[in-house]
Structure 1
Amino acid sequence: MLYPLKFHPILKEKIWGGNKLKTILHKKTTQENVGESWEISTVNEQISIVSNGQFEGESLKGLIQKFKGKILGESIYQEFGDQFPLLIKFIDAKTDLSVQLHPDDELAKKRHNSFGKTEMWYVAQADENAKLIIGFNKDTNKEEYEDFLNKGKITELLNFEEISEGDSYFINAGKIHAIGGGALIAEIQQTSDITYRVYDWDRQDKEGNYRELHTDLALDALDFKAEDDFKLKYALEKNKVNQLISSKYFTTNTLSIDQSTERTYKDLDSFKILMCVGGKGEIKTNEITTTISLGETVLIPSRIDSLFLENVSNEMKLLEVYIK
C-alpha cells in the first residue's frame, strides 16, 4: 500500500553555503558550508532514497518504475516516464550565489537533451538586508549586456529585491537571477541541473580557482526585457488553500494550519508534495499518521486522494505542490 513518503536529504557543500540547513531546518550533517538540501530528486546520480515505512531504503526512481501512475499520476507518467518531473530543494546562501540563468525547454533539449528550468522561490527565512537579484532594472540588449559584463559592471544592470520571510517569486527560464547572502529559500523547479553562470563576484575557491562561467551559452538563453512579473501576491487565510502560482510546470499553494483541515484531491491526477516551512504537524491518510516538521518534505502519491492535516504547534506552514 502506498503511503506518504519521506526521503533522506541529499546535502551539498557549496562555496557560498552556510549552516542554516543544520541550525534552522535541523538537517543532520557534519559537512561545512552546506548550501543545498535536495529533498526530492531523480536527477542522474542524485536520486532520493526513502527514509520511512515499508519502502525505507528504496529509491524514488525504483518506486516510480514499480508503481508508475499510482505515484506520479497517470497523465504525468505518460509524459515523464520514470523521471520525477520536479526537483525540490532548500537553499542556504551565506554569501551571494552566482548571477545565472537557465535555458527554456526548447534550448535545453537541443543543447543538453534535458528539460529547461523554470523555478520558484519561497523565502523561509531572511537576515536583515538580504536581497535577491531577479531580472534587469531596465530593458537592455545583447550589445549593452556584453559591454557591462566585459567591463565588470554587470551589477549596474541588475534588479535587486529586498526580501523578508514569506516572500515568493516565480523565475521564468531565461530570466537572470541570483540568491543573495542571508536568504534561506525553498525552491521548486523543473527537473533540470542546467545552469548558465555569467558572473561569480570574482571569487576563488580554497584552491585559488575561479568557477567556470558560461557567458557564450547564456547569450541565446537570456531574456533582456525588464518585466515586473516575478513577485507573487497571495492571500494568507488560515486553514484554506492560498494559491501562489499555477503554471504548466507546477502549481504551488500555501497552507497555514492551526486546526484539523481536510484536503481532497479526487479530481487531481497528480502526486502532491508538502514542504514544511514553519511549525510542525501530522498528515493522516488511511489510518497512517506521518509527522512533518520545519525543513521536512513529504511526497503524497497520486493514488492517495484525501488526507487530514493536523497542527501540533502554534501554526504549521506548508507549501503544497502538484501538476495539473
Structure 2
Amino acid sequence: MTQQIQLYPLLLVPKMSKAIWGGRALVERFHKPGLPEDMFGESWECWDENPVANGPLAGRTVGQLRARLGAALMGEFDPARLFPILTKIIDAHRNLSVQVHPDDAYARRVEHQENGKTECWYILEADPDAALYLGWNRPTDRAEYERRVVDGTLGALLRRVPVEPGQAYYLPAGTLHAIGAGIVLFEVQQTSDLTYRIFDWNRVGGDGKPRPLHVEKAGDVLDFSAARFSVMASLTYELEGLQRTALICDPRFWVERIDVDAVGGEVDLEGMPLVAMALGAPVRIVYGEGTVELAAFQSALVPAGLGNVHFSASSSREAGLLAAAPPADHEALRRRLASAGVSAERSGAFLEQFAAARGAGQGTVKPLAR
C-alpha cells in the first residue's frame, strides 16, 4: 500500500470544539469553519481523528493513515500507537478552569491510559492586561491546598503571569495552570485529554450546573513547590537558509518557529512526521516534484517518508510557521543546533531550562519512549 501512494504534505480539517469560555476569534480571525452564533474554545489542528483535506488521501483520518502507511507516515515512531502529539489553537474569551494534568505513570496506574499530559503554549494574541496562571506563588502542601479549595481562597496562591504574543510557556505534568481571558494561543501536548479541574470561577456549564471538580486526583498529581519558571528562553539560529527559533524541547515533542522569505529553505524531517501551521501569511511547501499551499493558520502533517521539504513564503515577502514533532531521540535537537554552528554552551543552557522546569535538576532530556 505504501508503495502505491506518492507521499505529500497532508492538509488537515480541524475539529472545532465549543466551550463556555470560548469566543469568536477562531472563526473571525483564524479562518476556522463555524456558524455566526458558535462560541468555539478550541480548534484541534492535528490529532488521530483529523481527516485529510487534499489529494488522493482526502477524507481519511490521521489514525487510518497510521495503519495504512506505517513508517512512511510515522517514521521511527510505532504506527500502532496513537499519533504522539495533539496540536490546538485555543481561544480563551473568558478564563479557563484552574486545572492540572497527570504524568504518564499516574495515567497508566490510575486511569489505565497510555499517556499523561505535558504541554506547551505559544501566545498568538493577547489583550494588554491578559495573563496566564502558572503554578503557585509560594511553596504550599496538600493540606493547605485542600483547605483553600473548601473555603474558596485557592486563588490567593495562584501565580499570575502577564503575557505577550510570541512567548512560549512549558507546562510539565503536575503544573497548576489556567489560561486567562483575552488570550489566543497555539498548544502542543501529549495525546491525552486527562484533565483534573480544581476551580472553575464559580460558573455553571451548558446544562446550568457547576462543572465537576477533581480535587482528590488533582491533589495526587500536583507539584506543590513554588513555580520554578515563567516564559521560556528561546534560541534563534540559521540552518539551510531559514531563520529557526527553538521554543520548546521535551522528551515527547519539540516546537520551533520558522521564518521564511520568498526563497525559503529546506527542513530535514529527521525520520519523524512534522506538524506545521502557517502564521499570519500563506506558506508554500515543496516536496519532490510537488507543491502544497498552506493558508494562514492552516495546519499540515508532513509524512516522515518525504525526508525533507522546502518551506517558503507563498504570497508575501516574509512568512512564519510553527513546527512541532516528536524527537527522533533525546539528542536530535542538540545535533541540529550543532550542525547550525550553535555552541555547546548555548544549546546546553537552552535544553537545561526544560530539565529544570521538570524538576530534573542537572538531568538530561530522557529518550522518547517507543
CA distance in 2, matches of 1:233, 1:138: 22
TM-score (norm 2): 0.82
Secondary structure at 1:147's aligned position in 2? helix
- Contact 1:279-1:314 at 8 Å conserved across structures: no
CA distance in 2, matches of 1:310, 1:255: 10
Counterpart position of 1:178: 178
Counterpart position of 2:38: 32
Secondary structure at 1:303's aligned position in 2? helix
CA distance in 2, matches of 1:229, 1:81: 35
Secondary structure at 2:73's aligned position in 1? helix
Secondary structure at 2:149's aligned position in 1? helix
The one-letter code sitting in structure 2 at the alignment partner of 1:14 is: A
Instruction: Quote the offset at 1:258 in angstroms.
Output: 2.2
> What are the Cα deviations for residues 10-66 of structure 1, in whole angstroms up to 9, with x where unaligned?
001100000000111110211511000011112xxxx11111111001111111101
- Contact 2:234-2:246 at 8 Å conserved across structures: yes
CA distance in 1, matches of 2:156, 2:290: 54
Instruction: Quote the offset at 1:293 in angstroms.
Output: 2.5
Instruction: Quote the offset at 1:102 in angstroms.
Output: 0.2
Structure 1 residue aligned with 2:266, among 263, 273, 296? 263
Q: Tell me how many residue pairs correspond in the alignment.
A: 316
Counterpart position of 1:209: 209
Instruction: Quote the offset at 1:263 in angstroms.
Output: 2.2
> What are the Cα deviations for residues 133-172 of structure 1, in whole angstroms up to 9, with x where unaligned?
1111111111111122211111110111111110110000
Q: Which range moved further: 306-315 or 1-10?
A: 306-315
Secondary structure at 1:251's aligned position in 2? strand
Secondary structure at 2:304's aligned position in 1? coil
> What are the Cα deviations for residues 108-156 of structure 1, in whole angstroms up to 9, with x where unaligned?
0112222000000000111121111111111111111112221111111
Counterpart position of 2:90: 91
- Contact 2:142-2:224 at 8 Å conserved across structures: yes
Counterpart position of 1:13: 18
Q: How does 1:182-261 map to 2 (within 5 A)?
A: 182-235=182-235, 239-261=242-264
CA distance in 1, matches of 2:185, 2:295: 16
- Contact 1:262-1:306 at 8 Å conserved across structures: no
Secondary structure at 2:109's aligned position in 1? helix
Secondary structure at 1:129's aligned position in 2? coil
Q: How does 1:1-324 map to 2 (within 5 A)?
A: 1-30=6-35, 32-42=38-48, 47-74=49-76, 76-77=77-78, 81-114=80-113, 115-235=115-235, 239-265=242-268, 268-311=270-313, 312-324=315-327
> What are the Cα deviations for residues 189-222 of structure 1, in whole angstroms up to 9, with x where unaligned?
0000100000000001344211011011111110
> What are the Cα deviations for residues 236-283 of structure 1, in whole angstroms up to 9, with x where unaligned?
5683221112211101111121242222326x1211111223222211
Q: Which range moved further: 296-305 or 237-246?
A: 237-246
The one-letter code sitting in structure 2 at the alignment partner of 1:169 is: Y
Instruction: Quote the offset at 1:310 in angstroms.
Output: 1.4
Instruction: Quote the offset at 1:235 in angstroms.
Output: 4.0
Structure 2 unaligned regions, length at least 5 = 1-5, 328-370
Instruction: Quote the offset at 1:230 in angstroms.
Output: 4.3
Structure 1 unaligned regions, length at least 5 = none
CA distance in 2, matches of 1:290, 1:53: 10
Instruction: Quote the offset at 1:187 in angstroms.
Output: 0.3
CA distance in 2, matches of 1:291, 1:122: 23
CA distance in 2, matches of 1:288, 1:70: 17
Identity of aligned residues (%): 33
- Contact 1:116-1:173 at 8 Å conserved across structures: yes
Secondary structure at 2:301's aligned position in 1? strand
**CA 1:206–1:85 in 2, change beyond 3 Å: closer, same or farther?**
closer
The one-letter code sitting in structure 2 at the alignment partner of 1:164 is: E
Instruction: Quote the offset at 1:73 in angstroms.
Output: 1.3
CA distance in 2, matches of 1:303, 1:85: 17
Quote the RMSD (CA, aligned, Å): 1.5
CA distance in 2, matches of 1:109, 1:230: 29
CA distance in 1, matches of 2:162, 2:320: 22
The one-letter code sitting in structure 2 at the alignment partner of 1:225 is: S
**CA 1:86–1:206 in 2, change beyond 3 Å: closer, same or farther?**
closer
